[in-house]
Amino acid sequence: MSNSVQTNGETLVFTCAGAAYSGQASNQAGVQLHREKFGNLFCIAAIAADRPEKMERARNAGTRIAIDGCEDHCCKIVLEKAGLPVDVHVAATDLGIEKKPETPRMAEDSARIADEVKRSLTV
């Protein structure tokens, strides 16, 4: 878990939301985790844009989850460059999900990503 000074216990879920299929699947996984109340889906673009209110909420979070579509790890890098350590990181391609599959299976793949995040939260 994060060592932030003023944590409020909130869990925030960031996704790269990349244009690739695996980036979109990652965002769907974030939506699923939000719906299932594992954390609040939050704007990675607002962190990249250094929006003050969003930065404060992200700084105060107790747990930050980053979900990336591929090995470029853009979501994780944006957070770390902003001085926001990542507590749980999952990349879709590490689960064997292709960036541009011939046969996309969005529901199954996004659920797999969400399951990996849940597993990582409990270890």
Does position 109 interact with ligand SF4 (CB under 6 A)? The reply is: no
Number of residues interacting with ligand SF4: please give it, by CB under 6 A: 11
Q: DSSP string spanning 39-82?
A: SEEE-HHHHHTT-HHHHHHHHH-SEEEEEESSTT-HHHHHHHHT
Scanning 1-9, 30-38, 64-72, 106-114 for contacts with ligand SF4 by CB under 6 A, the matching segment is 64-72
Q: Which is nearer to ligand SF4, 20 or 65 (CB)?
A: 20
Q: Which one of 61, 74, 88, 113 is in contact with ligand SF4 (CB under 6 A)?
A: 74
Residue 37 neighbours by CB distance under 10 Å: 8
Q: 7 or 93, CB closer to ligand SF4?
A: 93
State residue 120 phi and psi, 5-degree precision.
Answer: -70, -30
Nearest distance from C-beta of residue 28 to ligand SF4, angstroms? 13
Q: Is residue 16 a contact point for ligand SF4 (CB under 6 A)?
A: yes
In the complex with ligand SF4, the residue whose CB is nearer, 30 or 69, is 69
Toward ligand SF4, which CB reaches closer, 10 or 72?
72
Measured between alpha carbons, how far is 52 from 75 in angstroms, rounded to an integer?
18
Task: Write out the E strands in 5-81.
Answer: 11-15, 40-42, 63-68
